Amino acid sequence: MTTDDATLVLGVDLDGVCADYEGGFRAAVVRQHDRDPADLPPQTVLDQFTEWGLDPESFARTHRLAVTEDRMFRHMRAMPGVSEALWELSDAGVWIRIITHRLCVNWAHEVTAADTAAWLDEQRIPYRDLCFIGAKPDVGADIYVEDSPTNVLALRAAGHHTIVFDQAYNRHLPAPRAHDWPEVVAQVRAVLHARQRQARLPLD
């Protein structure tokens, strides 16, 4: 099955949107560095966890072990309601395209790809494409759901309708914004209905 021009393609980011990446990484930092979770608050700036006292080198080492030993991508928590929301949109005819930049860790690609696919199945998340890609504007979706300020700005600069998935580190970005998955569903349904109305207009 392939998309045609009438199909609405929803580009869905994984970390910070479908999956609680920060919570998964926090658990790994607690285990690896014997830290108190109370000292690891939500990030207000999305970077390599400098607010938790990590430098680039310790972040890289900790992240690699989080993937290969803690198996973070296999065990992290799903965002509330993500499965139900994506099933509802999929049943309404929306094409779900998962887009992630998770292959940024060298020499951990096998476990990253396998754990990501296993997690998506376990969490009952429907999708038709799974894209491991850094250049997100290149995947050709109609609407994107994204939490990273850098990615939101790049997608919008390329002219793409992008819904900000609310996180403490992206509150400075303008609307459209969704605070949870039911809000994503409502916004995507509104676009879908507008398209369907347009398609029913009589031709001159």
Question: Looking at beta carbons only, is 116 or 148 nearer to Mg ion?
Answer: 148
Q: Judged by CB under 5 A, does residue 11 bind Mg ion?
A: no
Pairwise CA distance, residues 141 & 203, whole Å: 27
User: Which window, 37-45, 61-69, 76-84, 142-150, contacts Mg ion (CB under 5 A)?
Assistant: 142-150
Yes or no: say if 49 and 56 are a contact pair by the CB < 8 Å rule: no
Report the SS3 class of residue 144: strand
Q: Judged by CB under 5 A, does residue 147 bind Mg ion?
A: yes
Pairwise CA distance, residues 175 & 30, whole Å: 35
String marking each residue 89-128 x if it binds Mg ion according to CB under 5 A: ----------------------------------------
CB of 172 to Mg ion, least distance (A): 16
Half-sphere exposure of 152 (CA within 13 A, CB side): 23
Question: Looking at beta carbons only, is 54 or 136 nearer to Mg ion?
Answer: 136
Nearest 10 degrees: Cα torsion 29, 78, 171, 135:
90
**# chain residues binding Mg ion, by CB under 5 A:** 5
Yes or no: say if 199 and 6 are a contact pair by the CB < 8 Å rule: yes
Q: Judged by CB under 5 A, does residue 15 bind Mg ion?
A: yes
Q: Judged by CB under 5 A, does residue 22 bind Mg ion?
A: no
User: Which window, 7-15, 54-62, 170-178, 190-198, contacts Mg ion (CB under 5 A)?
Assistant: 7-15
Interface positions, 148-187, toward Mg ion (CB under 5 A)? 148
Yes or no: say if 48 and 54 are a contact pair by the CB < 8 Å rule: yes
Yes or no: say if 51 and 135 are a contact pair by the CB < 8 Å rule: no
| Side chain identity, residue 69 | E
State the catalytic residues: 13, 15
- Residues engaged in binding Mg ion (CB under 5 A): 13, 15-16, 147-148
